[in-house]
């Protein structure tokens, strides 16, 4: 399991091309690249706060004269889809939705914007346009949603972080043709990267929290309830995307922006379609707006219930549904939470890693959600290793026995019928290098230690009473026992934990208690 950090390696070498005929030095090329790069990822570049932050990734050659920019710095024209993989993105077909006519759009616009000052209408229109065009460009040209389907993708930093962020490693293909150089110098891709690339750093001045704040500010001037609901779903989707790193929320966010821009605040088929190489995109209607009768997205009751648990923990040091006592000096600064489907039941659980107390009070909870609300699925010391078959390895808080470097643990397995974890057993060890003889006089069983590595194992039953009266086993039998539960499962290494802070808890949609 991982905390909210991003690790970058050589696995994402990003090549970019300069302008036609460009022959200047590398530093100048990098400067020009930053200025003219067209490939832009998800936008929280909104004019209302006077800030701009693009989602930039290097792409194949795009001459400067292929597009024009509006005053906001956003391409007014949208290129044709150039990435063959983009058709695998998670944007679903909208063919079943009957798009509103121009007359219907104009009538709905007049109705929903009634009572708003013209300055606020203009601001709303421009901000939604900017966000939609940026995200649309990323979808069409950069296969945005495929990238975001990886929860560890560096592009999630645009939701999470402000300041300089690293997207990968960049090089100039025209000056440093990778394949040619690798062949000529007989070097590997990693060696090429070490010599010819530099960190792909971009500055992000506008993250998800800023986006939510700005939409909330603009929503305050909206008089129409349905339009307010559509702005609210933008905020909720941004919150959920940031919290969960689930691509589907970013996908839905794009759909709402698209329909707001092209089928309410503008009429895209006329206002934009005549300038595009392919009018199919602006003519697509997803049918997700409350103003036209769609059910708006809102934070699920499950998510809000989890948020309430976190608020109680943060504000009062109280852990819902448990008799766990938290001392008055509990520390939120060392407490973390995550939303993740750890048990494989198809819906997310809440994980709370409470490490801001004494060792005796340190604990990790996993909450599930059902018809009767939240319930505890597991409570253990916060040293859990989750596997993708519903098994959890819970390491002990202490290792003061004879196990040496081996750390004892219990195994739990998820029971779908009870929606809880059940203990399967555990393992401890006797390392001969720690003690050749136990306090009780038992001598290390060399006859059992078939592989002669000086370690034997105790296989603890599910109802273990704390006694070691069972016969130990050798490494081979231990590994067979362990594999009977894991069954080749892989460790879940993409669980993102967030600090237990107000701004992170608020994302879940529950109100902070007084």
Please write the tens of the pLDDT for every residue from 210-257. Answer: 899 999 999 999 999 999 999 999 998 998 888 788 898 999 999 999
CA dihedral sign, ordered 210, 213, 219, 220: negative
Looking at the structure, tell me whether residues 256 and 307 fall in a common domain.
Answer: no
* 224 Cα distance to chain centroid: 33
348/284 same-domain check: no
Which of the residues in the chain have pLDDT under 70?
1-96, 277-278, 298-299, 321-333, 356-361
Looking at 272, 292, 312, the residue that finishes a domain is 292
> Are residues 205 and 331 located together in one domain of the fold?
no
pTM: 0.58
Handedness of CA 135, 140, 144, 146 (dihedral sign): positive
Co-location of 339 and 416 in the same domain: yes
Q: Does some domain include residue 214? A: yes
Q: Is residue 95 part of a domain?
A: no
Domain assignment of residue 406, yes or no? yes
Which pLDDT belongs to residue 323? 60
- Give the C-alpha distances (Å, rounded to integers) separating 206 from 122, 160, 418: 21, 10, 44
Q: For residues 38 and 59, is the Cβ–Cβ distance under 8 A? A: yes
| Residue 176 to residue 152: CA distance in whole angstroms | 29
Report the alpha-carbon distance of residue 105 to residue 128 in Å, rounded. 16
508 in any annotated domain:
no
Same domain membership, residue 360 and residue 286 = no
Q: Are residues 259 and 316 in the same domain?
A: no
Total number of domains in the chain: 2
Cross-strand bridge partners of residue 168: 200
The verdict on residue 373 lying in a domain is yes
Domain that holds residue 423: 302-486
In a domain, 96, yes or no: no
How much of the chain exceeds pLDDT 90, in percent? 46
Q: Are residues 203 and 309 in the same domain?
A: no
User: What is the pLDDT, as a whole number, of residue 360?
Assistant: 61
Beta strands in 329-396 (DSSP E): 335-340, 349-354, 363-370, 373-380, 384-386, 391-395
501 domain-assigned? no
Please indicate, yes or no, whether residues 252 and 340 belong to a single structural domain of this protein.
Answer: no
Please say which residue of 292, 316, 338 terminates a domain: 292
- 188 with 329, same domain: the answer is no
Please write down the HEC assignment for all residues of 63-104.
CHHHCCECCCCCECCCCCCCCHHHHHCCCCCCCCCCCCCHHH
Please report whether residue 497 resides in a domain: no
Determine how many CB atoms are found less than 10 A away from the CB of residue 108. Answer: 19
Residues with Cβ < 8 Å from 122, sequence gap 6 or more?
none
Phi and psi based region of residue 488 (left: phi greater than 0; alpha: psi -120 to 50; beta: remaining): left
| 358-399 pLDDT, tens digit each | 666 688 999 999 888 899 999 999 999 999 999 999 999 988
Look at residue 370 in the predicted model and tell me its pLDDT.
Answer: 86
Residues 281, 362 within the same domain: no
Based on the fold, state whether residues 44 and 106 are members of the same structural domain.
yes
- Residue ending a domain, choose from 242, 266, 292: 292
Specify whether 265 is located in the same domain as 325. Answer: no
Q: What is the pLDDT of residue 178?
A: 87
């Amino acid at each position: 399991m991982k905390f909210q950090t991003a690790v970058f390696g050589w696995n994402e070498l990003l090549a970019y091309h300069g302008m036609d005929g460009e022959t200047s030095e590398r530093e100048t090329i990098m400067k020009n690249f930053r200025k003219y790069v067209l490939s832009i990822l998800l936008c929280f570049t909104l004019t209302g706060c006077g800030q701009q932050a693009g989602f930039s990734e290097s792409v194949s050659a795009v001459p400067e004269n292929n597009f024009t920019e509006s005053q906001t710095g956003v391409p007014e024209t949208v290129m044709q889809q150039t990435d063959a993989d983009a058709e695998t993105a998670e944007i679903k077909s909208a063919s079943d939705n009957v798009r509103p006519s121009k007359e219907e759009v104009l009538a709905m616009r007049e109705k929903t914007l009634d009572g708003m000052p013209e300055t606020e209408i203009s601001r709303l229109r421009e901000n939604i346009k900017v966000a939609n065009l940026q995200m649309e460009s990323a979808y069409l040209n950069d296969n945005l949603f495929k990238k975001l389907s990886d929860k560890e993708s560096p592009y999630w930093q645009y939701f999470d972080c402000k300041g300089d962020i690293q997207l990968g490693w960049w090089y100039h293909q025209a000056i440093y043709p990778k394949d040619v150089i690798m062949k000529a110098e007989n070097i590997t891709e990693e060696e090429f990267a070490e010599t010819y690339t530099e960190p792909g750093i971009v500055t992000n001045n506008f993250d998800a929290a800023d986006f939510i704040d700005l939409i909330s500010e603009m929503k305050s001037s909206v008089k129409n309830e349905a339009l307010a609901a559509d702005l609210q779903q933008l905020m909720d989707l941004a919150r959920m995307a940031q919290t969960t790193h689930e691509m589907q929320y970013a996908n839905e966010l794009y759909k709402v922006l698209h329909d707001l821009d092209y089928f309410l605040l503008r009429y895209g088929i006329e206002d934009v379609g005549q300038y595009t190489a392919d009018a199919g995109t602006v003519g697509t209607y997803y049918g997700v707006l409350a103003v036209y009768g769609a059910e708006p997205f809102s934070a699920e009751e499950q998510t809000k219930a989890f948020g309430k648990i976190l608020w109680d923990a943060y504000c009062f040091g109280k852990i819902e549904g448990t008799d766990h006592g938290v001392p008055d000096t509990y520390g939120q600064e060392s407490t973390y939470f995550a939303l993740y489907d750890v048990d494989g039941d198809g819906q997310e659980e809440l994980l709370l890693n409470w490490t801001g107390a004494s060792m005796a009070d340190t604990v990790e909870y996993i909450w599930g959600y059902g018809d009767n609300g939240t319930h505890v699925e597991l409570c253990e010391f916060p040293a859990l290793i989750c596997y993708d078959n519903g098994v959890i390895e819970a390491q002990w808080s202490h290792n003061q026995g004879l196990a040496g470097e081996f750390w004892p643990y219990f195994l739990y397995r998820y029971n779908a019928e009870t929606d809880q974890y059940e203990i399967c057993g555990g393992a401890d060890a006797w390392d001969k290098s720690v003690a050749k003889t136990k306090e009780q006089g038992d001598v290390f069983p060399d006859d059992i230690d078939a592989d002669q590595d000086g370690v034997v194992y105790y296989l603890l039953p599910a109802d273990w009473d704390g006694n070691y009266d069972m016969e130990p086993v050798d490494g081979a039998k231990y590994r067979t026992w362990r594999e009977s539960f894991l069954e080749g499962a892989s460790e879940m290494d993409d669980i993102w934990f967030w600090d237990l802070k107000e701004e992170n808890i608020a994302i879940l949609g529950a109100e902070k208690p007084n």
